[in-house]
Structure 1
């Protein structure tokens, strides 16, 4: 079993997700107390995929997050650097164009996609700014980015309870439902170390994205950030 460290070496992170691929979606549903499905619906609304649009779903894992875009009639490319995740996803959705790719060096041409999105994956990339710049590069002028990521609860008393859950309750629950519970210790540590909502918005702006805004979900446990590439 593999557990990544907070220096987020790409091979370590990919190997960690390979280990949990088979039960990843179920484990997320349990650990999020069912909220993961609600968050995916909000991402789909924010991306607002349309027929014939090209959508990049980065860190797509098994492509559960990609299905709403496909149902909307868009051409969606699920991309991930965990081959284990891609293999599980391909077995479930054999018609989808799964693509292996590193967020810091995407295997796509400039100005390819109408929208790019990443859910709960940006936090695992070694260089956040490089990933945001790559997403900008492969987006068409006028296109949009939607990022769904764990963030910082906005109400201080709830933030304390949430942090306690992450570090004390999450690892024992993960041991009961996950094939690699140590991976969820990394998950808790990486959430605590992640920038808050305004800081991530600032990184998006530095990467070139305009009209950057965010919306909190579940009291700020998760935040949706959106930005646009100049037309």
Structure 2
């Protein structure tokens, strides 16, 4: 059976569009050290792609009852904001890819585990946020990635079947979410290498966003990319 052509592209944000994951990692480690903890990097990497409603309880269980979570949250977020104000760059290939999709009138969605305030801060002074057909943030779903709900909601808003939508992610949890929603998937790893289950199931594994259109151009509707 022939697969339906790709009709829309659904983007994660942190680590895929923006080079934010290194700043997040620095902020998470900083806040842990402020309370005398050493945050295991493997623990941090396992939480990439999760909303804070899932990652913070996981952190608290790992570090134990001595962690003051509200204080940790405040210090982590303040440190990240300080880094964010210095400017967080786009990942290589995002701007020409997004501009091409927009010029060809291919719908796009932003599907992120971050809050809307973080989305708006990252895209401040940049023209792209309003060009997404829809944006799904952690406040808009009950269950975040790796649950399929975020990508299911994006597909519903676009009025497209999941099989018509390409999910582009940098994290294992994000790819699991897209797969569970029934979408096509492409992983562009950033800090996190693909786990064995993800590597076995992901449709495309790319080195950068610059490879996406050259690799997948024939899977879009004929003539759609010009």
Structure with greater contact order relative to length (CA < 8 Å, sep ≥ 6) = 2
State the structure with more CA Rg.
Answer: 2
TM-score bracket for the superposition, by shorter chain length = 0.3 to 0.5
TM-score (norm 2): 0.42
Structure with more strand by fraction: 1
TM-score (norm 1): 0.41
